[in-house]
Amino acid sequence: MKQTFRLGTFRGISVGMHWSVLVIMFLIAEILARSVLPTAAPAARWTAAVLVAVLFMGSLAAHEFAHALVARRHGVRVGSITLWALGGLAELDGEPATARADLQIAGVGPLASAAAGAAFAGAWAAGHALGAPVIVTASLSWLAASNILIAVFNLLPGAPLDGGRILRALLWGRRGDRASATRSAQRAGMVLGQAMIGAGLLVLLLSSWFNGLWLAVVGWFIAGSARAEARWTDLREAAKGLRVADVMTRDPDHGWAWQPASAFVQDVAARSRQTVFPVVSVSGDPVGAVTVDRLARVPKQETGVTLADLSVPLGSDRIVGPEQPVDDLLQMAPVAGGLVAAVAADHHLLGIVTTDDLQRMMRQTGLRRGSPAPA
């Protein structure tokens, strides 16, 4: 999830939010001001509603921070925390080493939400006893109920919910096989998401269109995320034990940084089956990549444009050696035209790794195991 607004850094963890947070905060404030909070002056109602929406998003952030801090304690690096419309996302760069660590990382999130719910409930009880304004106690009551609901919802047993992670950890500890446990949790997530979509559509038709639509959207997200995680698991399993040399496209067509684009199109690109070409420097090192689409936008009469002018630069992390594990490339997004990395050694281009190469790796691994992997 890409951060639209970066909020800062906490204990070395980048914290931000997606633009959809603004939409969900507006909806929460709207519902609170018009339907939940008691009758009061409009300014007081809206001020309280906005404050409650901010506190609610803060409690979601606390949920994700709990995951992140426990993950770091178990040696899992945390890339960022991002809030978005359906909650939050702590981006973990790696997997826990043991089932116990996995269980603790997953379980602390719902525990944090339950603790927040209990804290708001305690504040509500104190405010009620002390005769606080009704608008204050109503706000605290809503925050307490919402956090407890989040804790319970996240315990549903299906990936990507925390309950799915807990299920994976328990199955992993029992079976001793993380991959098998992961697939079981992902299948449970797909079933759970489909059930929520069906229930949401039923509620939409028979009762409340808003509640039904919201339930169906959440179910769609859960099912889609579980399916995406299943593809990721298949990819990780397919890459296990393989080197970059095992999957790369060898001796690809390529161009030189100083080469005129028009000459390259005529001599190489027009007869090549590739859709992306690495660009190398005078010394033979890969320095960029250029796509067929980018080359096609250059007028034929333009003779002063070189491949260096058109190519997307390749960072040092995108230049890999043939003996490097394929697993190192799996979290890299394509640079241009499906190109993930260029393979080089001793100032010599050996090959390229594209998304097509990785998909082919999955299919071949599936065939060797007797069941073709999904595309």
Q: Give the domain CATH number at 296.
A: 3.10.580.10
Radius of gyration for the alpha carbons in the chain, expressed in angstroms and rounded: 26
At residue 373, the pLDDT reads 46
Q: Distance between CA 19 and CA 85 in Å, rounded?
A: 8
**Helix, coil or strand: residue 284:** coil
Q: What pLDDT sits at residue 374? A: 46
CB atoms within 10 A of CB 251: 10
Let me know if residue 213 belongs to a domain: no
Q: How far apart are CA 225 and CA 161, in angstroms?
A: 10
- Respond yes or no on whether the N-terminal peptide bond of residue 313 is cis (omega within 30° of 0): no
Query: Same domain, yes or no, for 37 and 149?
Result: yes
pTM of the model: 0.74
> What's the sign of the alpha-carbon dihedral 2, 239, 168, 166?
negative
Scan for tokens 């660590």, then name that residue.
101
Last residue of a domain, one of 155, 176, 209: 155
Kindly state whether residue 359 falls inside one of the protein's structural domains: yes
Q: Respond yes or no: is residue 302 known to be catalytic.
A: no
> Do 32 and 148 reside in the same domain of the chain?
yes
- Domain membership of residue 182 (yes or no) is no
Residue at a domain's end among 155, 174, 191:
155
Total domains in the chain come to: 2
Per-residue pLDDT of the chain (375 residues; tens, 9 = 90+): 677 888 888 778 888 888 888 888 898 898 888 887 877 677 888 899 999 999 999 999 999 999 999 999 999 988 888 888 777 888 887 788 899 999 999 999 999 999 999 999 999 999 999 988 889 999 999 999 999 999 999 999 988 899 999 999 999 999 998 888 999 999 999 999 999 999 999 998 888 887 889 899 999 989 998 988 888 788 888 888 899 999 999 999 999 999 999 889 989 999 999 999 999 999 999 999 999 999 988 876 666 889 999 999 999 889 999 999 998 888 788 888 899 999 999 999 999 999 999 988 888 776 555 544 444
339 Cβ contact partners less than 8 Å away, ≥ 6 residues apart:
276, 278, 289, 352, 353, 354
Annotated binding site for Zn(2+): 63, 67, 162
The binding site comprises: 63, 67, 162
Residue 127 lies in a domain: yes
For residues 264 and 255, is the Cβ–Cβ distance under 8 A? yes
- Under DSSP, the state recorded for 271 is G
Say what the pLDDT of residue 303 is. 66
Strands (E), the chain: 5-10, 13-17, 77-84, 87-93, 249-250, 255-256, 276-280, 286-291, 312-313, 319-320, 339-344, 349-354
Q: Is residue 168 in a domain?
A: no
Q: Is residue 226 included in any domain, yes or no?
A: no
> What gap in Å lies between CA 65 and CA 59, rounded to an integer?
10
Q: Answer yes or no: do 249 and 353 share one domain.
A: yes
Q: Are residues 132 and 272 in the same domain?
A: no
Provide the pLDDT for residue 252. 95
What's residue 302's pLDDT? Answer: 67
Instruction: Find tokens 């058109």 and name the residue.
Output: 310
With 0-12 / 13-18 / 19 or more C-beta atoms within 10 angstroms meaning exposed / middle / buried, residue 42 is exposed
pLDDT score, position 351: 96
Domain for residue 29, yes or no? yes
Quote the tokens at residue 318: 């995108």
- CA 351 from chain centre, in angstroms, equals 29
Please report the pLDDT score of residue 40 as a whole number: 66
**Domain limits at 310?**
244-369
* 231 domain-assigned: no
In this structure, what token pair is assigned to residue 134?
Answer: 């009704």
Catalytic residue among 30, 64, 237, 302: 64
Torsion sign (Cα): 212, 214, 220, 222: negative
Contact 150, 163 (CB under 8 A): no
Of 137, 155, 173, the residue that ends a domain is 155
